[in-house]
């Protein structure tokens, strides 16, 4: 079965229809339902950041309480990432087959229950399995959340809303670190802090009750009447707009095989997504997981203050990065930020023996730009695939990126201890250079390659 790309679908609509469709999309209202869907997807990314940040805060106390070996500490630290990999890969495909809505709801039942159960997890095996389940549920949301959000919100707001997901992840991650720093962590408080992740998860679950299926998925499955009703009832579209969207969806295949991610016409976008996403998150997770060790290895004075400054730069960069994602276009933004990040880590590699002040300049620029650049990791994946492959494609990119982040997190401490900070910054700069080269060669501009059907939701 041939997969129509979004650009190809737009061409089949004809030049005669392009202008009216684009004009209608620009006037599509932002409804309370759009805000609700956005809030629940934001909450999911906050929960992910919180879950990944909190384990680092409590591991020292758990190590004493459970008498953990180094192997168990590593497994507990990586457990959610392992679950994220399997959840993204397996359930992204499921979302294309059975629909988005069921996974969008029930994955947070799993996350809320497993998060709360951590309070009673007093053995490393039980805690590992619970955090594996949390990661599995969050992995499903990485595939389904941005997919459903991109198929519901007005296209003119898609970039900024999808980009904001990474900002909320950062807020959750930083909050977990702050709580871990200022709350005295002992055997009891560690379990309370772990279980506190159930609170945002439960709020997300409650908000998701009653959210309907994606009209794009329904229309591609031939369920045009249901799709039109959702567009009118929830998205505030007129009868004419909903009818136009149904007609545009007629050319969309109802389903696609997983292998069509690598079919001619789609394979380049898929492999670009793998390299682009993996090259971004590999140094990101590695550096910010081992920030204290990096600062110590570089002999940067006032490490606690510098760590706070870097976390503030992380938050500020994520917020400010939303503007260029929306305004500059996906391709120039990706190439430009990769180039800056490569230069920053390259400078740190060269200056590894310099003063603290000299090292902090490229480190701060790297942190600020990386936070801004990471906003596009929630935007590009959803735009690289047509409706029939979107869940599978987004899930595949998220899954492979988590493999890259796990590799970076494993290799960096070994590299720091054996080769020092200079060489460590150097090999991570090469990873970013690979991302730059692949982006120049393959990065498509997806902000304008929208089908008539996409433009109406």
192, part of any domain: yes
Which of 211, 226, 245 is at the close of a domain? 211
H or E element in which residue 407 lies? helix 387-442
414, part of any domain: yes
Do residue 168 and residue 278 come from a single domain?
no
Do residue 202 and residue 306 come from a single domain?
no
Check residue 18 and give its pLDDT: 35
Query: What percent of the chain shows pLDDT beyond 90?
Result: 23
Which of 152, 183, 211 is at the close of a domain? 211
pLDDT digits (tens, 9 = 90+) for 367-386: 899 888 888 887 888 789 88
Confidence band of 249 (pLDDT split at 50, 70, 90): low
240, part of any domain: no
Do residue 198 and residue 266 come from a single domain?
no
Task: State the alpha helices, DSSP H only, in 99-223.
Answer: 101-117, 124-152, 155-182, 187-195, 198-208, 215-220
Which residues, including other chains, have CB under 8 Å from residue 57's CB and lie 6 or more apart? 176, 177, 179, 180, 181, 185, 193
Do residue 331 and residue 423 come from a single domain?
yes
Confidence band of 96 (pLDDT split at 50, 70, 90): confident
Report in angstroms the alpha-carbon separations of 366 from 97, 178, 276, 397: 40, 22, 17, 24
- As a residue count, the chain comes to 457
How far apart CA 272 and CA 8 sit, in angstroms, is: 19
Do residue 288 and residue 401 come from a single domain?
yes
Check residue 3 and give its pLDDT: 39
Do residue 76 and residue 165 come from a single domain?
yes
Do residue 85 and residue 155 come from a single domain?
yes
Check residue 183 and give its pLDDT: 82
Find how far residue 406's CA is from the centre of its chain: 15
Q: 307 pLDDT exceeds 90?
A: no
Do residue 201 and residue 276 come from a single domain?
no
Check residue 2 and give its pLDDT: 38
- Residue that wins the pLDDT comparison between 362 and 143: 362
Q: 450 pLDDT exceeds 60?
A: no
440, part of any domain: yes
Tokens of 238: 């007129």
Report in angstroms the alpha-carbon separations of 224 from 151, 154, 227, 239, 300: 15, 19, 5, 13, 61
- Whether 76 and 172 have beta carbons less than 8 Å apart is answered as no
Do residue 272 and residue 411 come from a single domain?
yes
Q: What is the C-alpha end-to-end distance of the chain, expressed in Å? A: 25
- Helix axes 198-208 and 32-66, enclosed angle (nearest 10): 150
Do residue 207 and residue 268 come from a single domain?
no
Check residue 134 and give its pLDDT: 94
Q: 325 pLDDT exceeds 80?
A: no
Q: Count how many domains the chain has.
A: 2
pLDDT digits (tens, 9 = 90+) for 5-24: 433 343 333 333 333 334 44
CATH of the domain at 298: 1.20.1250.20
Do residue 295 and residue 159 come from a single domain?
no
Tokens of 375: 């906003």
User: In the chain, what's the furthest Cα-to-Cα distance?
Assistant: 70
- Supply the mean pLDDT for the chain: 79
Cβ atoms < 10 Å from Cβ of 302: 12
Confidence band of 253 (pLDDT split at 50, 70, 90): low
Check residue 24 and give its pLDDT: 45
Backbone phi and psi for residue 231, each to the nearest 5 degrees, phi listed first: -65, -40
Average pLDDT rounded to a whole number, residues 275-300: 80
What string of H, E and C letters represents the secondary structure of 187-229?
Answer: HHHHHHHHHCCHHHHHHHHHHHCCCCCCHHHHHHCCCHHHHHH
Cβ atoms < 10 Å from Cβ of 243: 15
Average pLDDT rounded to a whole number, residues 57-75: 80
Report in angstroms the alpha-carbon separations of 239 from 16, 225, 369: 21, 11, 44
* CB under 8 A, 24+ apart: contacts of 222-225: 222/254, 224/249
Check residue 10 and give its pLDDT: 35
Residue that the structure tokens 């020292």 belong to: 60
How far apart CA 68 and CA 122 sit, in angstroms, is: 11
Check residue 94 and give its pLDDT: 83
Confidence band of 443 (pLDDT split at 50, 70, 90): very high
Confidence band of 202 (pLDDT split at 50, 70, 90): very high
**In terms of pTM, does the model score above 0.85?**
no
- Helix axes 387-442 and 124-152, enclosed angle (nearest 10): 90
144, part of any domain: yes
pLDDT digits (tens, 9 = 90+) for 338-349: 999 999 999 999
How far apart CA 286 and CA 409 sit, in angstroms, is: 4
DSSP labels for 330-392? HHHHHHHHHHHHHHHHHHHHHTTTS-HHHHHHHHHHHHHHHHHHGGGGGTHHHHSS-HHHHHH
10, part of any domain: no
pLDDT digits (tens, 9 = 90+) for 112-169: 999 999 999 999 999 999 999 999 998 888 778 877 887 788 777 776 777 777 778 8
Check residue 127 and give its pLDDT: 94
Check residue 235 and give its pLDDT: 79
253, part of any domain: no
Range of the domain at 435: 258-452
Query: What percent of the chain shows pLDDT beyond 70?
Result: 83
Check residue 248 and give its pLDDT: 52
- Whether 330 and 379 have beta carbons less than 8 Å apart is answered as yes
Confidence band of 430 (pLDDT split at 50, 70, 90): very high
pLDDT digits (tens, 9 = 90+) for 33-52: 888 888 888 888 898 889 88
358, part of any domain: yes
Backbone phi and psi for residue 252, each to the nearest 5 degrees, phi listed first: -75, 135
CA contacts within 13 A on the Cβ side of 265: 12
Do residue 437 and residue 312 come from a single domain?
yes
Which of 211, 229, 250 is at the close of a domain? 211
Check residue 297 and give its pLDDT: 74
């Amino acid at each position: 079965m041939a997969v129509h790309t979004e650009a190809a679908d737009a061409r089949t609509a004809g030049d005669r229809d392009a202008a009216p469709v684009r004009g209608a999309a620009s006037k599509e209202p932002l409804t309370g339902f759009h805000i609700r869907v956005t809030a629940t997807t934001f909450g999911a990314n906050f929960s992910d950041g919180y879950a990944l940040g909190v384990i680092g805060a409590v591991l020292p106390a758990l190590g004493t309480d459970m008498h953990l070996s180094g192997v168990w500490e590593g497994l507990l630290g990586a457990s959610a990432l392992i679950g994220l990999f399997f959840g993204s890969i397996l359930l992204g495909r499921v979302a294309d087959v059975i629909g988005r809505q069921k996974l969008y709801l029930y994955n947070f039942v799993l996350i809320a229950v497993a998060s709360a159960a951590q309070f009673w997890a007093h053995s490393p095996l039980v805690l590992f399995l619970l955090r594996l389940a949390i990661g599995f549920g969050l992995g499903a949301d990485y595939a389904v959340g941005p997919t459903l959000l991109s198929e519901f919100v007005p296209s003119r707001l898609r970039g900024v809303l999808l980009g904001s997901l990474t900002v909320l992840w950062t807020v959750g991650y930083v909050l977990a670190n702050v709580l871990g720093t200022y709350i005295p962590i002992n055997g009891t408080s560690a379990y309370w802090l772990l279980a506190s992740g159930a609170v945002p998860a439960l709020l997300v679950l409650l908000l998701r009750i009653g959210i309907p299926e994606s009209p794009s998925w329904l229309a591609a499955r031939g369920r045009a009447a249901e799709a039109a009703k959702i567009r009118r009832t929830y998205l505030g579209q007129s009868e004419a707009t909903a009818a136009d969207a149904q007609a545009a969806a007629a050319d969309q295949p109802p389903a696609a095989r997983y292998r069509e991610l690598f079919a001619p016409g789609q394979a380049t976008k898929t492999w670009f997504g793998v390299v682009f996403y993996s090259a971004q998150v590999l140094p990101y997770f590695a550096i910010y997981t081992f920030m204290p060790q990096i600062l110590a290895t570089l002999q940067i004075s006032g490490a606690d203050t510098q760590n706070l400054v870097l976390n503030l730069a992380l938050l500020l960069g994520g917020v400010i990065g939303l503007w260029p994602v929306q305004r500059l276009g996906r391709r120039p933004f990706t190439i430009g930020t990769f180039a800056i990040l490569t230069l920053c880590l390259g400078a740190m590699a060269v200056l590894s023996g310099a003063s603290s002040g000299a090292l902090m300049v490229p480190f701060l620029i790297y942190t600020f730009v990386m936070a801004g650049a990471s906003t596009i990791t929630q935007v590009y994946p959803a735009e690289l695939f047509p409706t029939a492959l979107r869940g599978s494609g987004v899930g595949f990119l998220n899954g492979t990126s988590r493999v890259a982040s796990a590799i970076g997190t494993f290799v960096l401490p070994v590299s720091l201890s054996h080769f020092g900070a200079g060489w460590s910054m150097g090999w991570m700069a090469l990873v970013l250079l690979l991302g730059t080269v692949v982006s120049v060669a393959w990065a498509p501009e997806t902000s304008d390659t929208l089908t008539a059907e996409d433009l109406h939701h």
